[in-house]
């Protein structure tokens, strides 16, 4: 969609400039005349004199001229400035259809998946429709990008409009005033704010789409890596073990009648190897999902961790009944609690460790607090803490660890959650 094109401002060849100057001129002349006539009327009647009927200053009493000059001197600047602004806003503004431009920008944004590509066209549309000499878009994010149209007028004020959605600043729209004496009008501000909001939302959605796509790719990569790990575990661990069983069984078959004592020794070795293989399979299964979660449930699984020694008491403060969590959330909670309680047992020297789970309609909060000696100064993330942070992050949550007063440490995890059973 194209709007009227009038790229230069002010231009003596632009009919709009002529109309504006003419209208402003007759309004100012009328104002001066009205003030002068009012001064004559007010200055002569109270003293019993009748107006002479002539407008010539020489025909008026001296104080009438003085009053007229003082009144004009006091008011001509603000009045002319107001009229200048309003007349040019009427001529160049969008008063007749203030929603035409935002609506057109909206259409331009709807027609693309990448709003950044349309910004040069949008800058041109805004500059053309509002008769602005310069429009620029500055985008934050990965590398600062700038899209401009036109060039700013010398000494003209620049106005900044944030491109943002909620508290996420995506960049800014910069508009230059039409001239040094003609900054943006109120209606210009309204329209540009409206447009900046639209573009901010579009940019935010585009960035979120990018994040979502990247997240999907990460999920696929993580799934493939997990498959590869399981395949390697099976291939490098279990498969050779089973092959060795086959060989051992063959040897036993041969020796069973010829040398039963030797066969007995191999059978004992086979029994030990079978135990080892069973342990490997258990480890593999445990890595996929702790079996205790299915056998006991989350609460009892935590109660039966068996990590803490006898002088540290484990307290659980959880909703009763515990709302149902997704399998991923349940595993994450269990793993984080296991790691945190393990750290308490290993480093805290605490007498009490409290695991608290709270839920509100949108957030699931897990805290593990101890009354131990707290974190050492200059503490940085250990591997275990990084693992907890990653587990929270995978589910779109946040992880924090901080000291508690008077002593101890608090690990807090906040996960997005929705109670579907309400």
Residues in contact with other proteins by CB under 8 A are 19, 22-23, 26-27, 29-30, 33-34, 37, 40-41, 50-55, 83, 86-87, 89-91, 95-99, 185-187, 190-191, 193-194, 197-198, 201
Distance between CA atoms of residues 354 and 367, nearest Å: 8
Pick the closer one to other proteins by CB: 92 or 149. 92
Distance between CA atoms of residues 61 and 236, nearest Å: 115
Q: How far is the CB of 10 from other proteins (least distance, A)?
A: 17
Q: How far is the CB of 101 from other proteins (least distance, A)?
A: 12
Q: How far apart are the first and last CA of the chain?
A: 49
Pick the closer one to other proteins by CB: 91 or 331. 91
Eight-state DSSP code of residue 85? H
Pick the closer one to other proteins by CB: 108 or 359. 108
Q: How far is the CB of 232 from other proteins (least distance, A)?
A: 53
Q: How far is the CB of 90 from other proteins (least distance, A)?
A: 6
Residue 259 three-state SS: coil
Q: Identify the CA nearest to 415 among candidates 354, 331, 341.
A: 331
Report the run of H or E that residue 328 belongs to, with start and end: helix 327-343
Using CB atoms within 10 Å of the CB of residue 255, give its burial: 0 to 12 exposed, 13 to 18 middle, 19+ buried.
middle
DSSP string of 269-322, one letter each residue? HHHHHHHHHHHHHHHHHHHHS-HHHHHH-HHHHHHT---S-TTSEEEEE--SSP
DSSP string of 103-128, one letter each residue? HHHHHHHHT-S-HHHHHHHHHHHHHH
Q: How far is the CB of 38 from other proteins (least distance, A)?
A: 9
Q: How far is the CB of 217 from other proteins (least distance, A)?
A: 32
- By residue count, the chain amounts to 422
Pick the closer one to other proteins by CB: 95 or 407. 95
Pick the closer one to other proteins by CB: 183 or 384. 183
Pick the closer one to other proteins by CB: 41 or 398. 41
Pick the closer one to other proteins by CB: 100 or 270. 100
Instruction: Number of helices (H) and strands (E) in the chain: give both, helices first.
Output: 11, 9
Distance between CA atoms of residues 189 and 157, nearest Å: 13
Pick the closer one to other proteins by CB: 90 or 267. 90
Residue 245 three-state SS: helix
Q: How far is the CB of 339 from other proteins (least distance, A)?
A: 44
Q: How far is the CB of 293 from other proteins (least distance, A)?
A: 45
């Amino acid at each position: 969609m194209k709007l009227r094109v009038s790229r230069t401002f002010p231009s003596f060849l632009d009919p709009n400039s002529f109309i504006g100057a003419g209208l402003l001129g007759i309004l100012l002349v009328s104002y001066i005349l009205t003030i002068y006539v009012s001064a004559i009327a007010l200055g002569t009647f109270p003293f019993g004199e009748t107006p002479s009927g002539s407008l010539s200053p020489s025909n008026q009493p001296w104080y009438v001229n003085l009053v007229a000059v003082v009144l004009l001197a006091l008011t001509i600047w603000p009045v002319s400035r107001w009229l200048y602004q309003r007349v040019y806003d009427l001529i160049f503004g969008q008063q007749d259809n203030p929603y035409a431009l935002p609506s057109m920008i909206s259409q331009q944004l709807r027609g693309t998946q990448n709003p950044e590509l349309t910004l040069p066209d949008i800058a041109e549309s805004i500059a053309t429709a509002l008769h602005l000499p310069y429009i620029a878009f500055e985008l934050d994010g990965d590398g600062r990008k700038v899209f401009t149209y036109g060039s700013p007028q010398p000494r003209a004020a620049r106005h900044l409009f944030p491109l943002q959605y909620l508290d996420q600043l995506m960049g800014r729209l910069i508009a230059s005033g039409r001239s040094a004496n003609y900054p943006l009008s109120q209606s210009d501000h309204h329209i540009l704010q409206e447009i900046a909001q639209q573009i901010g939302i579009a940019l935010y959605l585009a960035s979120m789409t990018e994040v979502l796509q990247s997240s999907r790719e990460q999920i696929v990569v993580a799934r493939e890596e997990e498959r590869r790990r399981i395949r390697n575990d099976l291939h490098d661990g279990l498969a050779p073990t089973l092959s060795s069983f086959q060989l051992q069984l063959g040897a036993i078959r041969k020796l069973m009648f010829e040398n039963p004592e030797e066969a007995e020794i191999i059978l004992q070795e086979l029994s030990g190897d079978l135990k080892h293989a069973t342990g490997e399979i258990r480890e593999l299964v445990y890595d996929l999902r702790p079996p205790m979660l299915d056998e006991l449930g989350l609460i009892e699984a935590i109660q039966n961790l068996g990590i803490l020694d006898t002088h540290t008491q484990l307290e659980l403060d959880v909703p009763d009944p515990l709302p149902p969590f997704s399998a991923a959330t349940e595993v994450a909670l269990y793993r984080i609690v296991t790691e945190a309680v393990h750290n308490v047992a290993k480093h805290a020297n605490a007498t009490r460790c409290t695991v608290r789970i709270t839920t509100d309609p949108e957030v699931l909060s897990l805290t593990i607090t101890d009354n131990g000696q707290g974190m050492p100064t200059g503490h940085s993330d250990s591997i275990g803490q990084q693992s907890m942070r990653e587990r929270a992050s995978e589910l779109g949550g946040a992880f924090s660890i901080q000291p508690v007063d008077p002593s101890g440490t608090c690990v807090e995890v906040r996960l997005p959650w929705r109670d579907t059973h309400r």
